[in-house]
Structure 1
Amino acid sequence: MSMTRENTRSACRICGARGAPEESFEEIACFRCATCGTVQSNVLPTVEELAKHYAGFSESYTAGMGAERFAREMPKRHAAKLALVRRHQPKGRLLDVGCGEGGFLSQALEAGFDAVGCDYSVRKEYAPRVQVFPGNLDAEGGLPFEDGSFDAVTSWAVIEHVRDPHAAMREVRRVLKPGGFFFCDTPLCGDASERDVAARSHWFCPPEHIHVFSYGSLSRLVWAAGLDVVYSTPSFERSAPRYVARRLRNVLVGVVLGRALRHFDPGAWERRRQSVVTQIGDIQLLVAQKPRS
């Protein structure tokens, strides 16, 4: 299946630009905005379709790792992210949006935060002290909390799942106190490894991932909601050795080998781009702050 270009398409849902997407993946019906770089599903799933898709999702979710590795790996990831949160907001009331199994909440509670969670799909049981409320980040007013309720809002691997990222960010801003911090990570698209690798990124997988952000488009989204970006990185890992290993893998496989095939056999590169899925890719991370006035 070859890549196609379309001359007419609705405006990008992130930056509002109109015109042809730079790249289209027909099999999964996604396009890449030629202006901001966000890869997004051509057609939004309905609320009912998402409800059906995520029914019981949190009970069995293992991020593709399998239960054993998930139980071993996720506490380490949570600890690295909690350390980042504490550098900006060492204590206070914290909301973890899309909290999943509640592992990050457990660690936040142990660290002294007054922490609660919110998720589209709520589990039957959580660890002791963990409180999770049903909510919908997709809709303004969808989080069941008063304005200015939290010193920190965390959202780990969530924003790529929502139908309306702008509404989601306005909702985050609403529940933050003035001066409060927003922390999120999300898959990255548009860097050299993703653009050159001879395969399609596994990040492109609607209806789970509806919007996959470029490094610039995530900041654009946050700024549009009235939050100030205070820190961002296009590649986040829980330890320096893992960061180096990921970067080497992405550069060698994604850039060097991908560009070589693209140069010597562009037809093969294009066919693989449409038919083969790769794990190559980065997670970007961003910290933003609500203005104090």
Structure 2
Amino acid sequence: MKEKNRALSIPLSTIILASVLIIIVGVASFAANNAVNAQLEETQFEQAKNVMLAIDGIVKKVLFARQSSGYVKSSFWKTTPQFIRTGENLTLIIDAGTANWTYQIPVNIIKVKGGPHVGVTVSKNIIGNDSLLLTDMSSSIGRVSIYQSDGAWVSLDYSRVRCVYTGIWEYFNGSDYESFNVVEITMINLTFGTVETGTQVFIMIRNLGVNSKSITDVSGNFEVKVVGPEGEEVKSLEELGGDPSKRTIINLVFVNVEVSVMRSG
């Protein structure tokens, strides 16, 4: 009877051992798959950052070249770009007291959400800043940001105005030369064209045209105000570096940029 029980215990032990090994292999395989997926998601999120920077780089290149264009080729496996029309506006107000001028552009954003294994510990701007009113030529109108909000995100927007005092210039006023302050204001109107989905895509960036306007007779210490979804900022002519005792010429430039997505292949 003892030999029989012993004989039965050998295959039973083998079955138990095999089951344990299967569980170990299964757990190891799951952990390995998780590690691979996490690595892929992290790589794709880094790629999404580079795509946003590349788009902004092309926007800068085509900014004042009417009808010019460029593209970025990319792959999206673990991430999907989103093209958001927020329905909100960025408003520019030039207030000279007795006269004022108002201009608006829509706030549109390109966003990419990272996979569930990706996280952003500290929100930051990779390029650009959070100011709504940029007062020097070196500041980027485009802002590429990473942040955490129910997942990791990288975004690109142009929700700010560049307003630069370029100095005092001599202009002929019809009878004589007169010294004027000159202020240059630039806004980028980002719009979306056709958007096709796919793992391999071309992101096309086109300058659809530049609209220019000059306000040629602004007096006093006028204010430039920018109002957006994130708040508002105001600068006076004096704060910009100008001389309120002289009249001012304001040159406004509105650049229309369209982003479209086409499947590759």
* Bigger fraction of residues in strand: 2
TM-score for the superposition, normalised by structure 1: 0.23
TM-score for the superposition, normalised by structure 2: 0.25
Larger Cα-atom Rg = 2
* Bigger fraction of residues in helix: 1
